[in-house]
Structure 1
């Protein structure tokens, strides 16, 4: 049961990471650029990390991080092959590394908030 739930966290993060990446590439192209803050879309990558951390029973940070790292090459291939970008490969790689960071931060935020609820429940 534990290993199945762990893989569920990795798979959940993998799928959600790709969905968020495609959503940002297809629907928000230029929306953040027009606002003057082109990298605000990276904040959406907090969601896959938090959801995958919720799905994982143990290693609530490492499993979402593993899912994000596994999804990164898939997103890079999609960005280079099907979506024509005006950025270089190295800029896209840096953007994807930032997305992995924000995904791990989402997992850490979920772990922090759930720890607060557990500590509060323990005091009562």
Structure 2
């Protein structure tokens, strides 16, 4: 069972990534009402990486990356068949690759927080 845990965490990351994609592209969530001049939608892609990394306890970084990368073609298919196409495919691919970056940045934030927490506990023990 332990062999399949990285696959599970990658799948969780992919599912959460697809949910954020559908909610943003389907206009379920409107983020730009708060600050209309900026595009804060990409920040929501931090959440799938953060949640999946918290569930995996900071392990299986490669599985989380593969889960995000595998969700890119699925998001393109969803966009092509179920949603109105406004942008070209190349623009959508660039959008999704930057979304993978933001998702993995969320993973990095959680890993940084975990390392910081371990370091601070170590220093408290020395005192």
Tell me whether the two structures share a fold, i.e. TM-score over 0.5: yes
Residues 68-119 of structure 1: per-residue CA shift (max 9 Å, x gap): 0011100011111110121111111100000000011111110000111111
Aligned to 2:55: 55
**Contact 2:48-2:103 within 8 A present in 1 as well:** yes
Aligned residues: 123
The RMSD of aligned alpha carbons is 2.2
Unaligned runs of 5+ in 1: none
Q: Which has the higher helix share?
A: 1
Aligned to 1:35: 36
Structure 1 stretches of 4+ with a deviation exceeding 3 A read: 28-34, 57-60
TM-score, normalised to structure 1's length? 0.87
The 5 Å alignment of 1:67-106 reads: 67-106=67-106
Distance 2:55 2:120 in 1: 22
TM-score, normalised to structure 2's length? 0.85
How far 1:121 sits from its partner (Å)? 1.2
